[in-house]
Amino acid sequence: MDISPGRTVTETEIVTYSWISGDTNPMHTDAEYSRKSPIGQRIAHGTLCLSICTGLSARIGYLDGTAIAALGIDDWKFFKPVFIGDTVTLRSTVVEARKTSKPDRGVLVRRMELLNQHGDVVQSGLMTTMVRARPANSASE
């Protein structure tokens, strides 16, 4: 299991993501509307936070120079909202590592859990990545 450094979600990121994605739902963009909602304030887009997970994963560093391609995201769940000013970290746990039919490649499946500053899991799911594999003779290095 690995834990990333923290990262604070800003209003600028949420507003920018609204325009990039086209998702201008007032829960993300309208302070007065969201203040009167059951949640009581603006929230970050779930998919923005999913993107933040990929960035925090890169900051952990163990796939630097080895990741070839993202293969899938499975069983992704959104448990709690992320608010402006929340600081999130990523807890990443390898659940499967296997070789492919090509000896220089492997597949890594990781359980990704996005945590807020209170330690609550706000999102979780599995990310599958194709990676460069070590040659068989270097496995003991």
pLDDT for 66-86, tens place per residue?
999 999 999 999 999 999 999
Question: Residue 138 has what pLDDT?
Answer: 54
pTM listed for this prediction: 0.89
Task: Give the SS3 label for residue 60.
Answer: helix
- For 79-91, b where at least 16 C-beta lie within 10 A, e where not — what string? eebbbbebebbbb
Q: What is the CATH number assigned to the segment(s) 2-133? A: 3.10.129.10
Span 18-45, pLDDT tens digits: 999 999 999 999 999 999 999 999 999 9
